Amino acid sequence: MKPNKLIFLSITMLALLNCKKEEAPPEKPEISNNDIYFSIMVADEYIPENIEEWIIINDKNGNLLDYRQLANGSTTEFKALENEIPNQFTITTFRRAYLPSLNISRFFLTTYPNIAKESFWNLEYFPSTPREVNPTVPGSFSLFVENVPNYIDYTLSSLESISPVRSYYLQRGSNSLSLPEIHIYQQNRYILTIVDGLNNVKYKIFENTQDGQNLILDYNDFSFFENYLTISLPNQEIDYLYLINGLSEDVAYVGNDGFAYHQNFISSEDQLPFGQLKIGYLDIFDKHKIFFSIDMLEDSYSYQYLKNGRPTFELAIPEKPDFNFQGESVLDFQFSADINYVYSSSQWITSENIEEQSQDQTAWTIFTEFNSITKLKEFPSEIIAQYPRLSLDNLQYQSTSLNLKSESYPDFIDRSFTPKESIGNTDYEKEILTIKNPTD
């Protein structure tokens, strides 16, 4: 890619510099509390050590309105005269993360347009707590499956704590499957899913294994799934990943307290001998977490499907839309696509060598609603001066992601900045199509 000719030095100049020395500057009117047009509350401990957070506000035309650094345990209010308050404005969050041991600075900027006046954002702190729902117990067992017609792949899972075992290190095409040294878990129940050479996908549930046991299973005793999702795969080089997680009705999605009974990553160098992907669903689960991601390497685009809820039985990979963009910089970027979507996000990134074994990095993501343009003209000179490693003039356009199916853009903002306790147990469905810059 050609280097960006981004000129990011359009800094607001004070017109008062041109006033005559003998003229006293006019006094600024008092701004009352009723003139607050945006507030953001930061919880205690939200901003970690060696992290600095800023909020930057531009009007809908891209002109700089205000900017502030945030602090833990505080509420920051942005004010203006009543007749100067915009109905909508654009907010950019700016985060600088410094890694002292590596002498690396990471800068992350994210821009959200069309924020309504009198909006209130709440940055809550959710401490991570170690969770071990299904701990191991002393002992292990081995597993042997016979009579598998040209074994292709498998997933073995137990409740949450066990990562599904992958078969990429085993020889495909044999008629048996051998798995040594499988941990025994307190909830001693397992699901084994096998894909055979006839593109059959079958499963077996077994439990109460014993330490030192050599468990022998016959593939003929495996069951077909009650329902299947079949996805036709493009006839080109592809990488794809999928994960199906079954859960009980009373279990939150966020904890992954379920069985990941389908999980696999297939690279372009390790393709299955079928033109379709078949995924089975077990009726013993009330709901599922579904994730499917595929990268079309020849056409420079990718597709993702995510769902919390009931099983999906039909899924088609969209063709690449007619996508055109002009201007590759953050300031002048625009695009068009002949496909409907809810909102988009475009990404820029750059890396700068500071020392021989150290790299700084700047990344910027800009959201845009359907059929609109996010404008940015000015960036605070104070921030540029304070962070000399911030590299805005070398950002390189990477990709644009189109949210084909999702919550509305206002709901996305609400979910991101006014978190609710129940959000982790909410059903949702999302489709994302990402078009990559072919010159990158």
pLDDT (tens digit per residue) in 71-130: 999 999 999 988 888 899 999 999 999 999 889 999 999 999 999 999 999 998 777 666
C-alpha torsion angle, residues 333, 336, 337, 338 (rounded to 10): 180
Distance CA 400, CA 440 (A): 13
Distance CA 437, CA 165 (A): 35
* Single pTM value for the model: 0.85
Q: Single out the residue of 95, 122, 117 nearest to residue 41, CA to CA.
A: 122
Average pLDDT over residues 291-299: 95
pLDDT of residue 11: 29
Model confidence at 32: pLDDT above 90: no
Distance CA 363, CA 75 (A): 26
Percentage above 90 pLDDT, the chain: 60
Running DSSP on this structure, what letter comes out for residue 383?
H
Q: What string of DSSP letters covers 385-440?
A: HH-TT---TT-EEEEEEEEEESS-HHHHHHHHHS--GGGGG--EEEEEEEEE-TT-
pLDDT for 333-342, tens place per residue?
Answer: 999 999 999 9
Instruction: Give Cα separations from 250 to 133, 234, 253, 426 (angstroms).
Output: 15, 38, 10, 12
Q: How far is CA 376 from the centre of its chain?
A: 24
Q: Single out the residue of 363, 354, 439, 367 nearest to residue 403, CA to CA.
A: 367
Report residue 33: phi and psi, to 5°. -65, -20
Which 3 state secondary structure label does DSSP give 161?
coil
Q: Residue 438 is encoded by which pair of tokens?
A: 């072919």
